[in-house]
Structure formats: C-alpha cells, structure tokens
Amino acid sequence: MSQALIAQLLACLGADQVLTDPAAQATYLNDWRGRYHGRALAVVLPQTTQQVAEVVRLCVSNNTPIVPQGGNTGLCGGATPDDTGRAVIVAMTRMNRIRDVDARNFSITAEAGATLDDLKAAADHVDRLYPLSLGAGHQSTLGGTLATNAGGLQVLRYGMTRDLCLGLEVVLPDGTVWSRLAGLRKDNTGFDLKQWFIGAEGTLGLITAATMKLYPRPAARALIWLDLPDAKSAVCAHERAQSVFAGAQTASELISAPTLTLVRQHLPEVQLPGTASWPEHWALMMEVSAHDQIFLEALLDGWRRACARDGQSPGLVATSVADQQALWAIRKGLAEAQKREGLSIKHDIGLPISGIPVFLKEASAALEQTFPGIRIVAFGHIGDGNLHYNLSYAEPVANDSLMARSHDANQIVYDVVTRLGGSIAAEHGIGQLKSGWLEAHAPAGSIDLMRKLKDALDPKGLMNPGKVLNARR
C-alpha cells in the first residue's frame, strides 16, 4: 500500500515535490533542538491549497498519518514524525505567496509557508507593521505560528498569534477546504471556527492561508535596560512602566544572570550593557513605541519622573536604532546561546505576573533539594507572565543524567505552576514533549472536550498523531 500511495503522490505533485530518499528527507525528520528524530514514508512539498487537499485525501484513503511542517523551528517536537516510517510529512514552505495586502483595512493575507520576515517586509512596503517577532523570523512560518499560537516579543501590546488572526483557510481531515479569509474584526455568524485550528498543531486540519492584522508602523521607539537585584523588583518596575506608558509599551522582557552568562560565553559578538554585581541579578528590557518623537520624549520624561519619585534608577534608555538593535541582539540570541551550551530541560510556562517571584523562589528551592547544584536559566516575557525556565548543570557531562530524570524535574516545576494557577504551556505548544503533562494538568473536563472535537473532525486519528493529545489507551 505504501508504494501505491507514493505512486499516487507522484502523479498528483510530480517528482520534485515528493521526497522519498532518506538523504533528501533528512532536514525534515529532526526537530530544531535535535531532541526528536523520526522517519517518513515521504515528504511532500505542495504549492497550492488544492494540492494539499489532494494529498490529504490520498493519505486518508490509504490510512496514512499526516504530519504538517512549517519552518521546523518548534521546540516541542510538534512537527516531527514518529519512528515508524508510515507518515507523510506535508512541508508548507513552497506555499509562501503574499496573496493580498489591504493597507486601509490594516490586514494581510498570506499562505502558510510565508515566513514572518516575508510578512514584515510586505507590511513595511505599505507603511504598516506585522508585529509578531520571534528570534527565528527568517525561518518561522505563518502556518507554524498559527498552529502553535506563538507569542513572541510584543505580546504585551499586540497579543498572541490568535489575537492577530482575522481569518483562515484550512484543509480538513476529509480533504475538503474550509475558507474564511475575510478581514473582518466583527463577525458573529455562529461559532468562531478559526479558533478550533489555532494552537491545535495540525491535529484538526492543515492551515494553508490566513488573514492577519496589521498595525500602524511606529515612528519612534525607545528601549530601556534595567539592572535589578531580584525578580520582585522587576515585577515592580514593570508595574510602574505600565502606569507610565500604558498602551505605548510594546515589550517587557526579563533575563536572569545565569542566562546572561551563557550569552557572554557563547555569543561574544553581543555586547552586554549590565554592570550589576548582585548575585541574583536580573535584567529587564522594556520597549516603548509612539507615533512621533515628541510623544515618545514625553513618555520617557514621565518614566524618569516616576522613577525619581520612587527612588529608583530609570536605567539605560536607548533611542538610536543601532543601540536598540544591540540590546535586542541579546534577547534574540538567548535561544541560540542555550543551544550552543547543550541539552537542557526546557519549560515554557505561564503565570500571573504577580506570582512570578513566588514561583521562582519555590521552584528553585524544590529543585535544589532534588538536584543539588542545578543551574536555572530563566528568562521570558514578564509583560504576559510567560517564563522560559530551563534546567541544566554548568558541567555538560552531568546533563545526560539530568535528562534521564526529566520526569522528576518536570513534576517539580509543573506542580508549583499548577498550585499558583499557571499553565504548563504558554507559547511553544504541546507537541509530543508535553502531551502527557497536559493530560495531568489540564483543567477538569478539558481533555474530554478536546477528544470529542478531535474525534468529530478526525475520526481516523491521522492528523499529526501523538501530538497534543496522547493516543487512547
């Protein structure tokens, strides 16, 4: 049956769009972190929605699993097939057209394989802003960010990918196409169907195109860098900034001292501005944007006055493009610095902002008791309560044994997160990394409701199996 399916795929797409040679498939079979490795019957590279629909119909008729893949920059193994070699990977990178840019409607319609940089360039061409910003923007695709409901650096002002989406085009598990790409802000005609597919990681259907929000492009920006003695001080500084800047604040990023140490070790081209010597040193980066320079200066004056009133330093205020780019290079380089350091146990958690200092204190104490000498590399988007909380030892040789005890470490972290009313997955998705933990920590009734939706849309269970939801026992 597998050879028959390959013949059908070749007839549908052509030889250059169907990869069966293991060497040609190699880059599609491993995740970005190098943690997950799989095999595939074929990798297909469709160029149209109609081709995607035909691929799905062929796979379903042959009872063949389908694994959608965008830029393959995910961190939870959501786009990697299992090792059975039965699945067909549907790589969307050739579906990369910008279909329409409606500047007056502040919207853009693009195919799933368009990268974030493609979207930003198209928006910039009409003096608009596509705000989703990730470190891998040159590779991360629109479809991938929708499938995982990615967050990024500017959630504080513009929201998650879900908040940016106005409409979708989706190939459903039976091979039919559902399309609602109208750039409407208000549409109460029944269920908001697009929300079913955002964050579902391809388990309910394959996103082939989307209409997304654009915004006015800010004319002036400033980036503030604060060195602070502890996380509680950072929360207080963020609270002060929210009062001063209100809707003009676009980002608020928290970085711990161990994280900055990795940047210093692995990214020598990046210049660190901090001079603090506190043992629990934290850095806070805050971006402010405005429609003109005069308004921005007024906001910054208000910030300086508020800091003086509270007896606090206003920090380093970068207003030139070059200085801001140098600071952003630090934040955007964190994932790469960790990757060069080696394996770590990664957590992408959501917490009430007020609960971040409590979490850091309680989780650190519990982990140190079980894993003496553990190094905690913590950073994230304090403005929306999203922490990237990663565990390793300073000596790389000790990390193999640590990885073998991932379950124990995860249990400690997720128990504290749940007790504080948080989420075990903030912006990276579930993939295969967290499917078991989702079942253990999801709110009551959630898993049952998700399974009902999955069974209704994908009764054969062929859409990205093993991701998000565990297979039924």
Distance from C-alpha of 411 to C-alpha of 370, rounded to nearest angstrom: 11
Biggest CA–CA distance in the chain, Å, is 75
Q: What is the CATH number of domain 98-216?
A: 3.30.465.10
Please tell us whether the domain made up of 220-336 is placed in CATH 3.30.70.2190: yes
The DSSP secondary-structure symbol of 423 reads: B
Residues for the chain: how many in total?
473
Of 162, 133, 159, 144, nearest in space to 201 by CA? 144
Distance from C-alpha of 285 to C-alpha of 198, rounded to nearest angstrom: 29
Per-residue pLDDT at 152: 85
What CATH class does 2-93 carry?
alpha beta
- The pairing of strands 66-69 and 88-91 is parallel
- The pairing of strands 42-44 and 88-91 is parallel
CATH of 342-437, one of 3.40.50.1970, 1.10.10.10, 3.30.70.2740, 3.10.129.10: 3.30.70.2740
Of 417, 351, 355, nearest in space to 386 by CA? 351
Tell me if 220-336 shares its fold with 342-437: yes
Over its length of 473 residues, how does the chain's per-residue pLDDT go in tens digits?
A: 689 999 999 999 999 999 999 999 999 999 987 888 999 999 999 999 999 999 999 999 999 999 999 999 888 899 999 999 999 999 999 999 999 999 999 999 999 999 999 999 999 999 999 999 887 778 999 999 999 999 988 999 999 999 999 999 999 999 999 999 999 999 999 999 999 999 999 999 999 999 999 999 999 999 999 999 999 999 999 999 999 998 899 999 999 999 999 999 999 998 888 665 656 789 999 999 999 999 999 999 999 999 999 999 999 999 999 999 999 999 988 988 988 998 899 999 999 999 999 999 999 999 999 999 999 999 999 999 999 999 999 988 899 999 999 999 999 999 999 999 999 999 989 999 898 999 999 888 999 999 999 999 999 999 999 999 986 65
Provide CB contacts within 8 A for 138, sequence distance 6+. 115, 116, 117
Structure token pair of residue 166: 């106005």
Per-residue pLDDT at 32: 83
Per-residue pLDDT at 153: 87
Structure token pair of residue 51: 């081709």
Indicate the pTM of the whole model.
0.92
Distance from C-alpha of 328 to C-alpha of 336, rounded to nearest angstrom: 13
Per-residue pLDDT at 276: 58
Distance from C-alpha of 54 to C-alpha of 18, rounded to nearest angstrom: 13
Burial group, residue 44, by CB count within 10 angstroms (0-12, 13-18, 19+): buried
For the chain, the structural domain boundaries read 2-93, 98-216, 220-336, 342-437
Distance from C-alpha of 206 to C-alpha of 151, rounded to nearest angstrom: 20
